[in-house]
């Protein structure tokens, strides 16, 4: 299905089936058949590697933000040695603008559970943890119930579907820290520690949880797996944008009439998403800017949006990224200085504080932005801000510093006039 055809798209991740979140309904609608297939249909799935290969061919690009081919990531796991191996499912969902994985927890938890189980089998994993942000108490409870139900039905546990494969599945959760969405920070948090991201190498596939091979995937990434198994890699990769295929959960927020989460093919034109899918701009205002995929992805001006589609390639040409596909829409009244200050505040608040450029840089960025916002900025502050971003980018343990630097760099360069005007105004105000 091409992206242009999105109006006829029939959702698969969260299908239009009443009560699909209940395990019986899920099973009745073909749920857990993909798991059964990989575990028992030896003709189709000769070994666990064949599952990895299929998923790799489908090219499910990680939905957590980095867009890495899931099957390829799975193939990095070293051969099983009899010791424990882990799958850590990332349900931390804390990047501003992102609120999609919760829909899976709420409306179709079993598609994720099934996907995780298939992933676990494919990588010969012995224990799965799903790490959910602590604020999602409602969804934590839903997931606990869903996993218990799956245990009760024999989908999790010993010798699933009579195969020799056994696995455990536990829900764990955070307690308020955006950084724990960074995969190695999440591992530290899971291990009961402060969420300090780890230096890489070693990568989690070599040394993850408790020093053992571990793979981390986003909830949505895993939730796509059952349909890839059921319908084949070819089906998945035929949906949406070629380089970034498959359905995507778009989260749309900000100044639109119908904000929310939408399951649609990848590669939909941004303007279609705003004007058609999300019901157009609120109060008939004009569109000013869009952050396409969570607060760290560089903002685009309205005049940069023509022909840009929601997939990594198109967005890269436009000078931004798909990120989490959590799109934030801003109307003509939006004050870009205030908006950027709030983003810098977020990253300052959420830096784990482990490494210098991020701990110090995020605070410095916010303080200068506050000065500008309060009308005390000078034009030279803008260049200093840009300088600081270069001092942070690519020099830290994890990508939070980059995530903090990009919006500053790009919002200033793309809305330079507005920033300068605010600074000049203040220069006059002082006189």
Ligand X SMILES: Cc1cc2nc3c(=O)[nH]c(=O)nc-3n(C[C@H](O)[C@H](O)[C@H](O)COP(=O)(O)O)c2cc1C
Footprint on this chain of ligand SF4 (rule: CB under 6 A): 179, 197, 351-355, 358-359, 396-398, 400-401
User: In the stretch 215-254, what mask flags binding to ligand X with x, by CB under 6 A?
Assistant: -xxx--x---------------------------------
Percent helix / strand / coil, the chain, rounded to 5: 50, 15, 40
The residue (of 184 and 320) whose beta carbon lies closer to ligand SF4 is 184
342 binds other proteins (CB under 8 A): yes
First and final C-alpha spacing in the chain: 61
Q: What is the smallest separation between the CB atom of 314 and ligand SF4, expressed in angstroms? A: 28
CA distances 404 to 26, 63, 319, 399, Å, are 40, 20, 16, 9
Rule CB under 6 A: say whether 114 interacts with ligand X. Answer: no
Q: Site residues for other proteins, window 23-82 (CB under 8 A)?
A: none
CA distances from 56 to 171, 184, 213, 237, 248 (A): 27, 23, 19, 10, 17
Cα-atom radius of gyration of the chain, to the nearest Å?
22
Q: Which one of other proteins, ligand SF4, ligand X, none interacts with residue 232, CB within 5 to 8 A by kind?
A: none
Q: Does residue 116 touch ligand X according to CB under 6 A?
A: no
Q: What angle do CA 67, 200, 51 make, to 5 degrees?
A: 45
Which residue, chain included where needed, has tokens 């064949």? 50
Segment contacting other proteins by CB under 8 A, of 53-61, 132-140, 232-240, 408-416: 132-140
CB of 398 to ligand X, least distance (A): 5
Nearer to ligand X, 179 or 308 (CB): 179
179 in Cβ contact with 352 (< 8 Å): yes
Handedness of CA 197, 198, 199, 202 (dihedral sign): negative
- By CB under 6 A, the count of residues binding ligand X is 24
Cβ 212 to ligand SF4, closest distance in Å?
A: 22
Q: Which region among 151-159, 214-222, 260-268, 379-387 touches ligand X (by CB under 6 A)?
A: 214-222
Residue 423, C-beta contacts closer than 8 angstroms, at least 6 positions apart: 372, 377, 378, 379, 381, 382
Q: Looking only at residues 161 through 190 of this chain, which bind other proteins when binding is defined by CB under 8 A?
A: 170, 172-178, 189-190
Q: Per rule CB under 8 A, is residue 18 in the interface with other proteins? A: yes
Alpha-carbon distance 396 to 393, whole Å? Answer: 7
From the list 116-124, 246-254, 310-318, 418-426, the region that binds other proteins by CB under 8 A is 246-254
Q: Which residues contact 236 (CB under 8 A, 6 or more apart)?
A: 58, 59, 60, 224, 227, 228, 245, 246
Contact partner, 395, from ligand X, other proteins, ligand SF4, none, Cβ < 5-8 Å per class: other proteins
Q: Which of 60, 67, 184 is nearest to 122 (CA)?
A: 60
63 belongs to the binding site for ligand X (CB under 6 A): yes
Q: Does 319 bind other proteins (CB under 8 A)?
A: no
Q: Which two tokens stand for residue 106?
A: 């709420």
357-416 residues near ligand X, rule: CB under 6 A: 398-400, 403
Q: Which spans of this chain sit near ligand X (rule: CB under 6 A)?
A: 62-66, 68, 70, 90, 92-95, 179, 181-183, 216-218, 221, 398-400, 403
């Amino acid at each position: 299905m091409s992206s242009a055809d999105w109006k006829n798209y029939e959702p698969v991740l969260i299908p239009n089936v009443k009560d699909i979140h209940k395990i019986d309904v899920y099973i009745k609608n073909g749920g857990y058949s993909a798991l059964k297939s990989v575990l028992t249909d030896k003709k189709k799935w000769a070994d666990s590697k064949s599952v990895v290969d299929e998923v790799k061919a489908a090219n499910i690009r990680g939905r957590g933000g980095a867009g890495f081919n899931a099957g390829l990531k799975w193939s990095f796991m070293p051969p099983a040695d009899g010791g424990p191996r882990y799958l850590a499912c990332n349900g931390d969902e804390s990047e501003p603008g992102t609120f999609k994985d919760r829909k899976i927890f709420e409306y179709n938890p079993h598609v994720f559970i099934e996907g995780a189980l298939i992933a676990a089998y494919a990588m010969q994993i012995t224990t799965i943890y799903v790490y959910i942000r602590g604020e999602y108490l409602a969804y934590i409870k839903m997931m606990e119930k869903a996993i218990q139900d799956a245990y009760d039905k024999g989908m999790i546990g010993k010798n699933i579907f009579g195969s020799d494969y056994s696995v455990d599945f536990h829900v764990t959760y955070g307690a308020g820290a955006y950084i724990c969405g960074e995969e190695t920070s999440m591992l530290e948090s899971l291990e009961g520690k402060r969420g300090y991201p780890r230096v890489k190498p070693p990568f989690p596939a070599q040394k993850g949880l408790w020093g053992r091979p571990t793979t981390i995937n986003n909830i949505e990434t895993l939730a796509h797996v059952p349909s890839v198994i059921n319908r084949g890699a070819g089906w998945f990769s035929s949906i949406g944008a070629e380089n970034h295929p498959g359905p995507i959960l778009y989260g749309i927020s900000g100044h639109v009439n119908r904000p929310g989460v939408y399951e649609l093919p990848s590669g939909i034109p941004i303007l279609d998403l705003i004007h058609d899918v999300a019901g157009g701009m609120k109060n008939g205002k004009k569109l000013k800017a869009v952050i396409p995929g969570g607060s760290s992805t560089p903002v685009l001006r309205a005049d940069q949006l023509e022909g840009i589609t929601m997939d990594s390639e198109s967005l890269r040409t436009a000078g931004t990224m798909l990120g989490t596909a959590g799109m934030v829409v801003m109307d003509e009244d939006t004050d870009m200085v205030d908006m950027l200050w709030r983003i810098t505040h977020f990253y300052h608040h959420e830096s784990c504080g482990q490494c210098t450029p991020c701990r110090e840089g995020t605070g410095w960025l916010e303080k200068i932005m506050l000065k500008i916002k309060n009308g005390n900025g000078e034009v030279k502050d803008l260049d200093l801000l840009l300088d600081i971003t270069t001092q942070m980018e690519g020099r830290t343990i994890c990508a939070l510093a980059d995530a903090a630097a990009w919006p500053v760099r790009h919002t200033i360069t793309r809305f330079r006039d507005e920033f300068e005007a605010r600074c000049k105004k203040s220069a006059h105000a002082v006189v």
